[in-house]
Structure 1
């Protein structure tokens, strides 16, 4: 596989947190900017950022990347974001015609590093399915690398159903073991834990 695209999911309403987790910072950089920057740094030929809640602020946070990067970061607004994660996967229609592997990542894994994405891309290239995912206990999920056809099928899902169940059911998915990526941000307690580990600013 030569060349990949990236889909950054950043539409959530952060209801349990009470503030936009996309705009929390690590070393002064918002998590959404960090996720998009890492997607760009991974060598993606195209990067799609899906916004929803806090769309104006989230889009503004990546303005420099959207306007200066050679790969062309495109911001897509998901008006159906309250319906759940599946509606954001449907926004992958913006990648219509792209046939290469697609890196899917979210903004609320503050421990995410470029090395994680590089290992996923290399892993996906090494297996017949051309898919890779991150181990989360007994299941796998994002960040992940999927095929364009798999992502196209995901747009028919509803609610908070993402790619995890399908990836977990596949036998030849390359799996990244990175326990630190199990720490996502949903509640104030999650923020406190991430701050204590140096993954978020105070």
Structure 2
């Protein structure tokens, strides 16, 4: 274990409006998408994780045993992902000092503990402040931010995403290839494609 404190924020507060149901609860290989993300985070080298929920809260709490995990509720989830990320980050920082945090989402069916460990190891070895997953020629999640970027994360406006900070600091990034990160579930068609790929 490194002496660096690494936290994880799982962003799962959205309403999945384009899907028409809670994407967090879609099943893939007998686990819900949210459980896949929780197990990946929990099984990684990170020191602490927090799950940010908002929409579909009661349904998620009924269907998934969240007792082993730290959960915070973002009542302002409707304003955009920035508020969920900030809710999670503030929660972590109230408890202890972190050297870096990793942002994850709850609908990447192929995320594994090793996906996260690759980011952490790259961070520890590269001395770069942002370690981003890459797929389909773009930057994506999971993504790690060093503590020097916490204030910028906390200043993002509602619909702004962390990509804004990545593009602002291209000289301070290192990349980890995660081709299957391109698979996320936004529409019924996305989910059908995923199920048919099993």
Q: Does 1:187 align with 2:187?
A: yes
2:178 alignment counterpart: 178
The TM-score, its normalising length taken from structure 1, stands at 0.87
Alignment counterpart, residue 81 of structure 2, candidates 76, 79, 85:
85
**d(CA) in 2 for partners of 1:61 and 1:44?**
26
**d(CA) in 1 for partners of 2:140 and 2:163?**
4
Gaps of 5+ in 1: 68-72
**d(CA) in 2 for partners of 1:23 and 1:11?**
12
Gaps of 5+ in 2: none
Deviates more, 1:24-33 or 1:148-157: 148-157
Q: Deviations over 1:108-154 (max 9, x none)?
A: 11121222111111111122323211114443121011123423421
**d(CA) in 2 for partners of 1:78 and 1:192?**
29
**d(CA) in 1 for partners of 2:188 and 2:59?**
21
**Structure 1 residue ranges (4+ consecutive) displaced by more than 6 angstroms after TM superposition:** none
Alignment counterpart, residue 75 of structure 1, candidates 55, 71, 78:
71
Q: Deviations over 1:2-52 (max 9, x none)?
A: 231111000011000000000011222111122111111003221110001
Q: How many residues align?
A: 192
Deviates more, 1:155-164 or 1:117-126: 155-164
**d(CA) in 2 for partners of 1:95 and 1:47?**
8
Find the residue that maps to 1:13 and give its secondary structure: coil
What is the Cα-based RMSD across aligned positions, in Å? 1.8
Find the residue that maps to 2:171 and give its secondary structure: coil
Residue 60 (structure 1) shift: 4.2
